[in-house]
A = this chain, B = another copy of it.
């Protein structure tokens, strides 16, 4: 009897299957993607989030044969160094650009010798352990994107990766319609499809609509042009290069990841820039402003990236009157406020700032409702597992599939950690695995949990107050004046009245305690001062007391 196939999206946050998916067939397994998630605004101090893959590492019964990558965006490859630390020697598979980006990460983490990298071309069939995965080209907002059709005894499991149907892609590589249609003939047991734009009607525009907007902006720009976009968006870099070439401008690259990726893409032949067009960022001032284009990082408002530093005057590229700055991306949810503030700051410095919707200088890389219907109609799956999206989008994807004629019971809206089982008896929702996501903060992986985050939240709201009190161990009287340390609460130098009241409360508390245990005195100091501060200020700073008996 053939084995049961188990499919498990690993990770948390309801973004189902975006970051890491485990495919099991008996004792054998492969993984698709190992991405990171970006922290929400209230996950204070967290740099990024990785899926909690302990549930895989702790299973001795499982043999992982390799990781198959759909494309090179951070939310699909970003956790690769954590994965390789866990499973040295693991085989990784991706297209040229994807593997170039992964190689860069592994090299920076000194892990390059610890793994085996395999480059394939879209359309190749990969034999990984007992798995046969047929890759197929899809269009998205980075070159070299694929999906996978994984063969099982019960039919194909098709994983779309991130996709849109772009009929005029920048690199000329069309969506592999023929392959998708062919899958439908062979029988698709399960379609796992991107749901990001399931709430948005219509079709997603082609990347090439941006060319027209770039052309207009380049034609009219009076001085330097600075374009900020994702460092991995190599096809956008190519579009900017073409516009710069046409209008006889040189190009410089700013920002560590932008330079690293451009170098890598040039080396791999994915990016085509005439050698004499590229100038060093240090040399742009020797050129007439009308001859300068700069590509920069920071389009998501990352505080340490180029755009944000330019906006606040902390970068060597000083914004000048008449500079044209193109923000060629859409803010990822949660970044809207920061990106908007940067646009305002750049305008305030006199630049002309161009962004969608003022000009269509960016389009989504994810298919909208009509793209999704197209994917369903091309592959004609028996079952659908909406992936890549928050619960609201997965449900919208289900609604759309049901409207297109798929029985509701054949659509599986599940959260990360839920196992989908395919066997002779059909397909069903299996167990829910424990675990969720792991916070990475600096060097720390997983040492920041809910409790620490809650403390950070309290501190961020009202700060803290520390009382240092010396008490005479014989007569229990206060020695000297209490020392008060506080940050993030009020501006103490202007809070004399409040300080006097704290002083009074401390003195009263010590007097009343009169020989209680040190611990009890600490507690009543903290309680009484907390009460005082709340009634005076309606704030609840964290309060600690240090009692020294002398």
Q: Tell me if A483 is interfacial: C-beta within 8 Å of chain B.
A: yes
Number of copies: 2
Q: Is the interface of A mostly helix, strand, loop or mixed?
A: mixed
The reply to whether A489 and B443 contact each other, CB–CB distance below 8 Å, is no
Q: Which of A455-509 contact B (CB under 8 A)?
A: 455-464, 466, 468, 470, 483, 485, 487-491, 494-495
Cβ of A62: which chain B residues have Cβ within 8 Å of it? none
Q: A542 CA to B489 CA in the complex, in Å?
A: 14
Q: How far is the CB of A274 from chain B (nearest CB, A)?
A: 35
The reply to whether A442 and B538 contact each other, CB–CB distance below 8 Å, is yes
Q: Which of A361-418 contact B (CB under 8 A)?
A: 390-392, 395-396, 415
Q: A177 CA to B416 CA in the complex, in Å?
A: 55
Cβ of A341: which chain B residues have Cβ within 8 Å of it? 40
The answer to whether A460 and B45 touch (CB under 8 A), given A392-B353, A544-B466, is yes
Q: Tell me if A550 is interfacial: C-beta within 8 Å of chain B.
A: yes
Cβ of A336: which chain B residues have Cβ within 8 Å of it? 333-334, 336
Most buried by B among A45, A489, A542: A45
The reply to whether A358 and B199 contact each other, CB–CB distance below 8 Å, is yes
The reply to whether A456 and B452 contact each other, CB–CB distance below 8 Å, is no
The reply to whether A456 and B447 contact each other, CB–CB distance below 8 Å, is no
Q: A29 CA to B198 CA in the complex, in Å?
A: 53
Q: Tell me if A213 is interfacial: C-beta within 8 Å of chain B.
A: no
The answer to whether A464 and B459 touch (CB under 8 A), given A357-B199, A495-B447, A536-B443, is yes
Q: Tell me if A200 is interfacial: C-beta within 8 Å of chain B.
A: yes
Q: A459 CA to B460 CA in the complex, in Å?
A: 6
The reply to whether B487 and A392 contact each other, CB–CB distance below 8 Å, is no
Q: Tell me if A449 is interfacial: C-beta within 8 Å of chain B.
A: yes
The reply to whether A452 and B463 contact each other, CB–CB distance below 8 Å, is yes
Residue ID in chain B nearest A345 by CB atoms: B391
